[in-house]
A and B are shown apart, each in its own frame.
Chain A
């Protein structure tokens, strides 16, 4: 549930123009901070608040330092724009004729985005240092029109100083004398009617799809702040207006008031993909610029004005949330349009493609719109190139449809094409908007095309639209949230949010008519969320549970793993944590010096990197890597890791899942203590240090009897390695291994020449043998007797074997046997070793000397018969 470690790709963002929003919801007296806070706590997070429409942060106040006029009409300005060095900028603006040093003007520095006007249409353009015939110009002096804050284009916007005209369009300088380099946005007021505006960027979670429209946001803001809203917009037909806040009246709209044309009626090969599709033939279109107010709105919403047709569809999408598409009807190979899944090899060229681009091959089964044999649109995602609207277009086919959100999601992923349209369809669009959008476009287009005429209309319509009834138990709501709320209060909140509610006569339940646009509300819990959001989560008290605490169920294995970790820390080892993912090559290095065994791995299908493409089978690879990394700066490396390994040959917690085992692995290398003033040359750790740590871990968990068996195992030195085993009813159980790392393995890990000790233990197998109760004897009540025995044995006989024999022969009086001396060399014969054993004897009575002597004789005899040991005198 936590997304803190992951970037947020879930939310799409929408940009909302504050000035546009104010036209639909009364925000008088509401500060931007208040608005953002309320939206954010209600789950409509405001990601950014920034000026929009032209006043880019790199549009700054610049102060003229020098002026040159090499030829008539051309002015070179040396400007202080806040940077270390002055900027040289050239301009042909006629109003610079009288400009003198000290004047202040509006400068777009490289990186700034301004508006370039062609054919009366604004296009956003990024300023760069331009190499011109006359020299390099390091910025652009801008007019109010280029900045998007006014209509004046008679010259560079002069703020103060000689020759400065009055600021156009009611612009006001709110920071006279603003320093060079100050953002112009801060120095100027926000004039009414300017492109410049405040834009709110809203993060849209999947359940807030209704806020992917300006009117949707307006309703939300009105509901959350309890402010008056006005959500009616003018349309063609239906009495001239539709109230977005109550679409009940349009559910049965079949475009019947428009000239019907059966030949236009779209077909859908897949009703699950699309069962609602309206098509209009519109004649008398004159492609040209949109009215200025409409262009301004688009720019304020982060879009670029294109032409009146495209702008009308975009505007409708931004306003209502319904994406539509306009085709040049004369370029469509055939009618009606058909919604289909694409055939193998079908080709498509998007309208955004370069003119000379080739059509690409679509993934088979992509949802498409077909006309004749051609694919003319990727359904809900992108229109096609061939039938796009151009300057010469006179007749349109307008498409407004509702597409299945999962199909559009898959399609945008598969084609890697993401558009404002697919962003909306992929989250679900209110099907009631299909006809409303067509009527809205007709209305908007009529403003710029007086001769506009609908000559044909048709609607494909599947299941009838209607609201769904849902009931909510008031007591259930209060129990779920832990909050007191009255039926009237809940009803009022839901009503504001466009969820009309009626309170039953007994006041205990509410009936809610969920409109078609609220696909996120399926059940009572969804209404609980709606109520909590609308009332505000700060209404919830902080309570401690009234539920009784269930019995504790923590698995003892988890506690024992932690105990092992603590023991390793107590032994002076530093815990490390490494990646569960690794590479087979890294782990193969552990087998260096031996014939390599190919091991089975759980392999990633979609690894992000070669070094992390399988799940590790051991912790030792990363421990050795860590030692190699740290040896550069740390002479001593004493580390351990407790973590999971994955063994696919074993069965996991359920069939199909690989086996997971918890390991504790240790590594020691270098001085046993840090060198220092008092201990200038401490000895390096050897295998006996690791043996001591392993013994302490086993003893610390009170693990029952274990045996240390010499073993020739990777990655260990063949002669300096052992496994730790326990004997149980199921036979011998491997608890782990330890020893000195094979020199070839050390070399493979860039540790050539180092003495490296490692251990890898099966944490849960050890935990399973940890005694819950262990006997703690007091000090002996009767004196104990210590006797030493020195024997000569063959080199091949291990100390452990001698001790085992001694322990068996010395029972029951023998309490402990330890090896206290090992000696080779003269006078001990070649091939033999002298070993000194110290025996501690005791009983719950005073022992007699002759008992000790008898025990020693028995031990000596057993050592002689089992191991050919000779008593050394």
Chain B
């Protein structure tokens, strides 16, 4: 009799549990069946009315019933929690193909980022960085570099001269006047300053900086541009070191298997003078539009420091030699990034600059 009533309770309780579909219904069910005032507790009260011989079995049956119902309840509760979590997760889905949050990003100017790489390449070869003024005297920019007044080399550089005062109509300091002030036309102007500052000891410096030329602004030429001058002076400096250093530099900037070639040239402040060509990084030397089908790109001018310049720097050309080179930055940046117009660099259109982030 008792077993039958327990079975009825179990069945109805299980059915009620199955019908509970949310947290509230589940708790209602728990109160109704398993709480202290619930249905099962009421059954326990009936134990006293039983024969002593039946009490033990009946108690055990109730305990078993509680165990079963509790297990069912826990299972149901976990299932409901899981379902609720799934529902929440489903509702929280985010479309990650949406654009990311827009953020402000700063960036270096492309001229500076390549300039830094160049400086690092030379610093790794023991070069220090030396700074020299933008406004120079004719003497430092030309004369001490073995470019006397009316030297043909002055033709290739349209020089900006400063007026003596702030009146441009005042009489011109002629180019024969060593004290006439010019905007440096090349970073070579700092060579003498570096030698005089470091002599009689060895020199191994690069001089990066802006240079100025009085020219029309076109897709290929600007009134100002960065150069990186290199200068090494010592008792055992060789022309072959120039080739080695510049090969190393080219490999650091353009990659592992670059080749360079030296080609005879002329600069008043070096003797011998060479142009250094880089095997075209785009076609690997096969010939393309960028290298004008020569397989080589003109990279920079270089040479052994002219004895007169060494002397002007305070060194004895009988005991000391130097190598010097001058790299034009814009061309290198244009080459690396496919920039076809030098004017972009100083026009500062943010749409151009931000592409270098």
Q: Residues of A at under 8 Å CB distance from B?
A: 1-10, 40-45, 205-208, 406, 409-410, 426-427, 479-483, 523-526, 528-529, 532-533, 537-538, 540-550, 552-555, 557-558, 562, 565, 568-581, 600-608, 612-615, 626, 629-630, 633-634, 636-639, 644, 646, 648, 652-654, 656-658, 660, 672-679
Q: For residue A562, which residues in chain B have a CB less than 8 angstroms away from its CB? A: 116
A-B contact pairs, 28 of them (CB 8 A): A4-B330, A7-B220, A41-B262, A43-B273, A43-B274, A205-B266, A206-B153, A479-B238, A479-B321, A480-B239, A481-B239, A525-B307, A526-B271, A538-B262, A540-B240, A540-B262, A544-B125, A549-B126, A555-B129, A557-B131, A569-B106, A569-B107, A575-B353, A603-B166, A605-B168, A638-B104, A676-B101, A677-B98
Tell me if B143 counts as interface (CB < 8 A to partner A): no
Q: For residue B155, which residues in chain A have a CB less than 8 angstroms away from its CB? A: 9-10
- Closest CB-CB distance, B271 to chain A, in whole Å? 4
CA of A301 to CA of B273 in the docked complex: distance in angstroms? 29
Report if A481-B152 is in contact (Cβ < 8 Å); known contacts: A528-B272, A550-B202, A656-B181: no
Stretch in B4-12, B16-24, B52-60, B227-235 touching the partner: B227-235
Report if A540-B239 is in contact (Cβ < 8 Å); known contacts: A552-B128, A630-B350, A648-B166: yes
Contact A409 B241 (CB under 8 A): no
Q: For residue B328, which residues in chain A have a CB less than 8 angstroms away from its CB? A: 2-5
Contact A678 B261 (CB under 8 A): no
Contact A577 B103 (CB under 8 A): no
**Chain B 281-336 residues near chain A, CB threshold 8 A:** 298, 300-304, 306-307, 317, 321, 324-328, 330-331
Report if A657-B261 is in contact (Cβ < 8 Å); known contacts: A545-B241, A604-B163: no
Report if A532-B272 is in contact (Cβ < 8 Å); known contacts: A2-B327, A547-B234, A605-B163: yes
Q: For residue B216, which residues in chain A have a CB less than 8 angstroms away from its CB? A: 608
Q: For residue B353, which residues in chain A have a CB less than 8 angstroms away from its CB? A: 574-576
- Interface residue range, chain B: 35 or more
CA of A207 to CA of B264 in the docked complex: distance in angstroms? 11
CB nearest to B193 among chain A residues:
A653
Q: For residue B166, which residues in chain A have a CB less than 8 angstroms away from its CB? A: 600-603, 614, 648
Kindly list the 6 A-B residue pairs having the minimum CB-CB distance in the complex, ordered from nearest: A43-B264, A482-B240, A1-B326, A529-B272, A676-B102, A482-B238
- Closest CB-CB distance, B328 to chain A, in whole Å? 4
Contact B102 A43 (CB under 8 A): no
CA of A43 to CA of B270 in the docked complex: distance in angstroms? 14
Residue from B136, B165, B239, B346 in contact with A482 in the complex, judged by beta carbons closer than 8 Å: B239
Contact A644 B101 (CB under 8 A): no
Contact A426 B152 (CB under 8 A): yes
Given A1-B227, A427-B152, A633-B351, 8 other A-B contacts at CB below 8 A? Answer: A2-B186, A8-B156, A480-B239, A569-B107, A602-B181, A638-B104, A644-B134, A658-B181
CA of A673 to CA of B232 in the docked complex: distance in angstroms? 48
Contact A570 B239 (CB under 8 A): no
- Closest CB-CB distance, A342 to chain B, in whole Å? 18
Tell me if B243 counts as interface (CB < 8 A to partner A): yes
CA of A316 to CA of B202 in the docked complex: distance in angstroms? 51
Residue from A537, A580, A660 in contact with B263 in the complex, judged by beta carbons closer than 8 Å: A537
Q: For residue B132, which residues in chain A have a CB less than 8 angstroms away from its CB? A: 653
Q: For residue A482, which residues in chain B have a CB less than 8 angstroms away from its CB? A: 238-241
Report if A636-B104 is in contact (Cβ < 8 Å); known contacts: A574-B353, A660-B135: yes
Report if A657-B204 is in contact (Cβ < 8 Å); known contacts: A2-B300, A5-B225, A608-B214: no
CB nearest to A525 among chain B residues:
B271
Q: For residue B247, which residues in chain A have a CB less than 8 angstroms away from its CB? A: 542
Contact B244 A544 (CB under 8 A): yes
Residue from B104, B188, B214 in contact with A606 in the complex, judged by beta carbons closer than 8 Å: B214
Report if A675-B264 is in contact (Cβ < 8 Å); known contacts: A2-B326, A6-B221: no
CA of A644 to CA of B262 in the docked complex: distance in angstroms? 35
SS class, residues of chain B in contact with chain A: mixed
CA of A581 to CA of B240 in the docked complex: distance in angstroms? 40
Stretch in B30-38, B77-85, B205-213 touching the partner: B205-213
CB nearest to A483 among chain B residues:
B240
Q: For residue A572, which residues in chain B have a CB less than 8 angstroms away from its CB? A: 103-106
Report if A544-B264 is in contact (Cβ < 8 Å); known contacts: A5-B330, A483-B240, A523-B307: no
Q: For residue A42, which residues in chain B have a CB less than 8 angstroms away from its CB? A: 263-264
CB nearest to B354 among chain A residues:
A574
Residue from A525, A612, A648 in contact with B272 in the complex, judged by beta carbons closer than 8 Å: A525
- Closest CB-CB distance, B194 to chain A, in whole Å? 9
CA of A871 to CA of B248 in the docked complex: distance in angstroms? 70
CA of A575 to CA of B357 in the docked complex: distance in angstroms? 10
Q: For residue A565, which residues in chain B have a CB less than 8 angstroms away from its CB? A: 108, 112
- Closest CB-CB distance, B64 to chain A, in whole Å? 57
Contact B109 A577 (CB under 8 A): yes
- Closest CB-CB distance, A745 to chain B, in whole Å? 19
Report if A652-B133 is in contact (Cβ < 8 Å); known contacts: A528-B304, A574-B353, A604-B162: yes
Contact A674 B265 (CB under 8 A): no
Tell me if B222 counts as interface (CB < 8 A to partner A): yes
Q: For residue B153, which residues in chain A have a CB less than 8 angstroms away from its CB? A: 10, 206
Contact B128 A579 (CB under 8 A): no
Report if A630-B150 is in contact (Cβ < 8 Å); known contacts: A558-B129, A606-B214, A657-B133: no
Q: For residue B324, which residues in chain A have a CB less than 8 angstroms away from its CB? A: 1
Residue among A45, A481, A577, A656 with max Cβ neighbours from chain B (10 Å): A577
Contact B235 A657 (CB under 8 A): no
CA of A742 to CA of B300 in the docked complex: distance in angstroms? 47
Q: For residue B201, which residues in chain A have a CB less than 8 angstroms away from its CB? A: 550
CA of A576 to CA of B353 in the docked complex: distance in angstroms? 8
CB nearest to A524 among chain B residues:
B307
Contact A43 B107 (CB under 8 A): no
Q: For residue A543, which residues in chain B have a CB less than 8 angstroms away from its CB? A: 238, 240-241, 243-244
CA of A528 to CA of B270 in the docked complex: distance in angstroms? 12
Q: B132-175 interface mask toward A, CB cutoff 8 Å, 1 = contact, 0 = none? A: 11111100000000000011110111101111011110001100
Q: For residue B331, which residues in chain A have a CB less than 8 angstroms away from its CB? A: 2, 4-5
Residue from A524, A544, A601, A605 in contact with B241 in the complex, judged by beta carbons closer than 8 Å: A544
Residue from B108, B163, B248, B266 in contact with A43 in the complex, judged by beta carbons closer than 8 Å: B266
- Closest CB-CB distance, B232 to chain A, in whole Å? 7
Report if A1-B188 is in contact (Cβ < 8 Å); known contacts: A426-B152, A537-B274, A658-B135: yes
Tell me if B25 counts as interface (CB < 8 A to partner A): no
Report if A612-B348 is in contact (Cβ < 8 Å); known contacts: A1-B325, A10-B156, A545-B245: no
Q: For residue B137, which residues in chain A have a CB less than 8 angstroms away from its CB? A: 654, 656-657
CA of A122 to CA of B196 in the docked complex: distance in angstroms? 61
Q: For residue B325, which residues in chain A have a CB less than 8 angstroms away from its CB? A: 1
Residue from B109, B130, B213, B303 in contact with A553 in the complex, judged by beta carbons closer than 8 Å: B130
Contact A6 B229 (CB under 8 A): no
Q: For residue B244, which residues in chain A have a CB less than 8 angstroms away from its CB? A: 541-545
CB nearest to B331 among chain A residues:
A4
Contact B224 A545 (CB under 8 A): no
CB nearest to B298 among chain A residues:
A4
CA of A541 to CA of B241 in the docked complex: distance in angstroms? 8
CB nearest to A405 among chain B residues:
B152
CB nearest to B136 among chain A residues:
A657
Contact A554 B272 (CB under 8 A): no
CA of A574 to CA of B221 in the docked complex: distance in angstroms? 24
Contact B240 A603 (CB under 8 A): no
Contact A533 B264 (CB under 8 A): yes
CA of A225 to CA of B227 in the docked complex: distance in angstroms? 36
CA of A537 to CA of B151 in the docked complex: distance in angstroms? 27
Residue from A2, A546, A575 in contact with B106 in the complex, judged by beta carbons closer than 8 Å: A575
Tell me if B237 counts as interface (CB < 8 A to partner A): yes
Tell me if B198 counts as interface (CB < 8 A to partner A): yes
CA of A638 to CA of B137 in the docked complex: distance in angstroms? 37
Contact A480 B321 (CB under 8 A): yes
Tell me if B342 counts as interface (CB < 8 A to partner A): yes
Tell me if B99 counts as interface (CB < 8 A to partner A): yes
Contact A569 B108 (CB under 8 A): yes
Contact B212 A580 (CB under 8 A): yes
Contact A1 B301 (CB under 8 A): yes
Q: For residue A648, which residues in chain B have a CB less than 8 angstroms away from its CB? A: 166
